[in-house]
Chain A
Amino acid sequence: AQTVTQSQPEMSVQEAETVTLSCTYDTSESDYYLFWYKQPPSRQMILVIRQEAYKQQNATENRFSVNFQKAAKSFSLKISDSQLGDAAMYFCAFSGNTPLVFGKGTRLSVIA
């Protein structure tokens, strides 16, 4: 079974600085998708960024980028120029031949 591990329960970052959230996963599949979701206090699950395993190029979405290391099964999220609105729970998720499997999440605080 696939597992997703987020080893940082909590992180904090100064406004305008950069922070990296870690995620590792375990799978025997070769084709799969990886995601980062943001959950603010409103509890809405918001897709931040997506990476297809067949792509070597790391995905980027404005201030959000990933470092995808397929051999190491690592998928970290980098947030640049952090803003107060980035404060939330961040979930790493995996989907291959089965539905999304989530990590336990990292709570990100942004300090003004």
Chain B
Amino acid sequence: DAGVIQSPRHEVTEMGQEVTLRCKPISGHDYLFWYRQTMMRGLELLIYFNNNVPIDDSGMPEDRFSAKMPNASFSTLKIQPSEPRDSAVYFCASSLAPVLQGAELVYGYTFGSGTRLTVV
């Protein structure tokens, strides 16, 4: 498996423009997460999905942010309109619920490479 794939890797846009970040999770993973990383706030959870259904979007900072997961293999995070304070690295991650492997319950997230967003 190619892992979690995010695009674009870098995005520079002007204030007021719409930005769409994309994520392809690992096939078979039933959870998908969007995180934002900034120097000031560290890694924050924005929203997560289970089986394509949004479960908790309380971390989405404003109505300017929206996320969708139309199918099990694709998710988008959209910012409209973008502002300079949205500049950050946005990570997508996917996971399974804890699974029994032998005598162990195994659980972990796989992260994409992130999208560095710069709003000027």
Cβ–Cβ contact B107 & A45, under 8 A: no
List of A residues within 8 angstroms of B56 by Cβ: 98-99
How far apart are the CA atoms of A84 and B69 in the complex, in Å? 40
Cβ–Cβ contact A100 & B91, under 8 A: no
* A: contact size bracket: 20 to 34
Those of A28-58 within 8 Å (CB) of chain B = 33, 35, 37, 42-45, 47, 50, 52, 54
List of A residues within 8 angstroms of B89 by Cβ: 43
Considering only CB atoms, which chain B residue lies closest to A104 in the complex?
B42
Cβ–Cβ contact B113 & A35, under 8 A: no
B99 within 8 Å of A (CB atoms) = no
Cβ–Cβ contact A43 & B108, under 8 A: no
9 A-B pairs closest in CB distance: A45-B111, A102-B43, A104-B42, A43-B114, A99-B48, A33-B107, A99-B45, A44-B113, A99-B33
Expressed in whole angstroms, the minimum distance between the Cβ of A19 and any Cβ of chain B is 21
B interface residues (Cβ-Cβ under 8 A, vs A): 31, 33, 42-43, 45, 48, 56, 89, 91, 93, 98, 104-105, 107-111, 113-114, 116
A interface residues (Cβ-Cβ under 8 A, vs B): 33, 35, 37, 42-45, 47, 50, 52, 54, 91, 95, 98-105
Expressed in whole angstroms, the minimum distance between the Cβ of A56 and any Cβ of chain B is 14
List of B residues within 8 angstroms of A45 by Cβ: 91, 93, 111, 114
Cβ–Cβ contact B109 & A100, under 8 A: yes
List of B residues within 8 angstroms of A52 by Cβ: 104-105, 107
How far apart are the CA atoms of A100 and B108 in the complex, in Å? 9
